[in-house]
Amino acid sequence: MSDYNKALALRYVAVWNNSEFNALDDIIHPDYRARRGDRLMASGPAALKAWLSGLHEIFPDMRYTVEEIIDVDDRVIVRASGVGTHLGVWRHKLFTIPPTGTRVSWSGVDLIRIADGKIIEDWDYWDDRGLLEQLGTPSYAPKTSPRPAAKPRAS
């Protein structure tokens, strides 16, 4: 089953690269869930198609390169890098970034689970902060307070 699972994950990446969203019908389980950490990004094949379409509006030339692929039982781990040009408006609940024309790169890992011969879950962990910094936006990470100065020791 491992060769099948790896091939399925590679087809998934090919859909991302080629904007062939109708091909998702053959490889995505009806109960599909995409997660970024604890956040649910897409629930079901239609939501995945909408999400991918939106990403391709922001980065129309985005391309992923699989750097490493590992499978264990019903899971496939894909370490990849991506590149794209920021040509669309990026709207997020925390910010809106107008097109910058900047060519950017990013990297990350997807943990994909297969059920009934289709992709049912995808947890992704990507360097969003690094991507935002390349676009010249301030980080949306919370600011931390500086550590208090150490007190001198009594002799």
52-79 pLDDT, tens digit per residue, is 999 999 999 999 999 999 999 999 999 9
Share above pLDDT 70 across residues of the chain, in percent, rounded to a whole number: 88
Relative to beta strand 96-97, strand 103-115 is unpaired
Integer Cα distance of 54 and 60 in angstroms: 9
Q: Using an 8 Å Cβ cutoff, are 120 and 45 in contact?
A: no
Long-range contacts, stretch 79-82, CB < 8 angstroms, 24+ apart? 79/107, 79/108, 79/109, 80/13, 80/107, 80/108, 80/109, 80/110, 81/105, 81/106, 81/107, 82/106, 82/107, 82/108
Token pair, residue 48, equals 């995945």
77-108 pLDDT, tens digit per residue, is 999 999 999 999 988 777 888 999 999 999 99
Share above pLDDT 90 across residues of the chain, in percent, rounded to a whole number: 65
Which domains does the chain possess?
Answer: 2-134 (3.10.450.50)
Q: Which amino acid is at 114?
A: I
**Torsion of the alpha carbons at 21, 27, 32 and 34, rounded to the nearest 10:** -60
User: CB within 8 A of 19, min separation 6: which ones?
Assistant: 52, 53, 56
Q: What confidence score (pLDDT) does residue 94 get? A: 76
